[in-house]
């Protein structure tokens, strides 16, 4: 199977490392000709995870996504959710011809408030058996250092899901297979929102005790939201790595860009100032708006996510919002 990867940020770079370490031939679309030339000649990404070095033996670097769609059977989408549509829309006709889409995008498409699989089904009646979602807990920086990490692969076609997961299994990556396609993606969206919340709490001066209570309540809120949005009849273990595990690492890790973003908000940065200070996209910022709107549409009670939305999008005072949240946490 020929694999393509679209996305040259830290997560896209980490996924290319995993695949090429496993001997897969990868066509990798990066954001500019200059970056492509640098990787071809100097064998590392100049901007993200520059400690990873690639061999030209099984890696082709391009700067046009069309090359990936033309050459690959399975395409990994590893760009921030706000930009996914730019890399999907011009190629919907090609995707409809049996391409396998592997989503490593941890967000909702903000233009339509849909997950990528939902968007493709709406646009081209995409066969969702050809869709796999890759979710954590897994930080790109730890992949670069080859520290043991876990990846969950969620799909409705169990044979294909298992086959794709095997391409990513390495001595430093353990793979898990799931059928909860929408649930694992919504969990990845929510944990970014809650991680912003833990960052805000830290910036406001709350200690570890409060943050542990905050995250415990966020886990309960996530479970309620996922249950309300799930179409699965089988019971789900929401304490598994892709749900609770990913929430914990994103809320507590120093590698978490969403926590870092929230920390700046808690310290008094405006949203725009925090965005400018970040070198990478904090997916939880647009996700907070999408989750707020989805919670209303499905009548889910999400006071923590709503509070974070109020701070980020309604410009409410962070201290005042958290003072109210204190009263409802258990």
The CB-side HSE value for 244 (13 A sphere, CA atoms) comes to 11
pTM for this one?
A: 0.93
Q: Which domains are seen in the chain, by residue range?
A: 3-179 (3.40.50.720), 182-328 (1.10.1040.10)
Strand order in the sheet with 3-6: 59-62, 26-29, 3-6, 74-77, 100-103, 131-135, 149-154, 173-178
Q: Give dist(CA 216, CA 322) in Å, integer.
A: 15
- Structure confidence at residue 110 as a pLDDT band (50, 70, 90): confident
Share of the chain above pLDDT 70, in %: 98
Residue 100: the pLDDT is 98
Q: Give dist(CA 142, CA 293) in Å, integer.
A: 33
| In the chain, alpha helices (H) | 10-21, 33-42, 65-71, 81-88, 92-95, 116-124, 140-144, 158-168, 181-204, 208-229, 246-252, 257-266, 271-277, 284-297, 303-313, 318-328
Residue 321: the pLDDT is 98
Mean pLDDT of the chain, nearest integer = 94
Does the pLDDT value for residue 298 go beyond 90? Answer: no
3-state secondary structure (DSSP) of residue 134 = strand
Check: CB of residue 114 under 8 Å from CB of residue 126. no
Does the pLDDT value for residue 242 go beyond 90? Answer: yes
């Amino acid at each position: 199977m020929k694999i393509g990867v679209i996305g040259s940020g830290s997560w896209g770079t980490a996924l290319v490392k995993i695949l090429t370490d496993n001997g897969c031939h990868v066509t990798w679309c990066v954001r500019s000709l200059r970056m492509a030339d640098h990787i071809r000649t100097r064998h590392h990404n100049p901007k993200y995870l520059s400690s990873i070095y690639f061999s030209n033996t099984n890696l082709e670097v391009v700067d046009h996504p069309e090359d990936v769609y033309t050459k690959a059977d399975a395409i990994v989408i590893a760009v921030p959710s706000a930009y996914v549509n730019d890399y999907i829309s011009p190629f919907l006709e090609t995707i409809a011809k049996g391409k396998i889409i592997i989503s490593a995008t941890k967000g909702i498409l903000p233009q339509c408030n849909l997950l990528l699989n939902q968007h493709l089904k709406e646009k081209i009646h995409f066969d969702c058996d050809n869709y796999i979602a890759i979710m954590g807990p897994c930080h790109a920086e730890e992949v670069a250092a080859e520290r043991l990490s876990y990846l969950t692969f969620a799909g409705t076609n169990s044979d294909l899901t298992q086959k794709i997961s095997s391409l990513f299994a390495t001595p430093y990556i353990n793979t898990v297979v799931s059928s909860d396609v929408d649930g694992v993606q919504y969990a990845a969206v929510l944990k970014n929102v809650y991680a912003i919340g833990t960052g805000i709490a830290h910036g406001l001066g709350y200690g570890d005790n409060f943050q542990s209570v905050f995250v415990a309540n966020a886990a309960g809120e996530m479970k309620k939201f996922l249950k309300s949005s799930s179409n699965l009849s089988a019971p789900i273990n929401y304490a598994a790595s892709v749900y609770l595990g990913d929430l914990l690492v994103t809320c507590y890790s120093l590698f978490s860009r969403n926590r870092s973003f929230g920390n700046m908000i808690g310290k008094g940065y405006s949203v725009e100032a925090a965005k400018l200070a970040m070198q990478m996209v904090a997916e939880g910022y647009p996700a907070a708006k999408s989750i707020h709107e989805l919670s209303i549409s499905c009548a889910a009670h999400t006071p923590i996510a709503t509070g974070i939305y109020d701070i980020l999008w309604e410009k409410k005072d962070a201290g005042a919002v958290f003072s109210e949240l204190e009263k409802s946490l258990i």
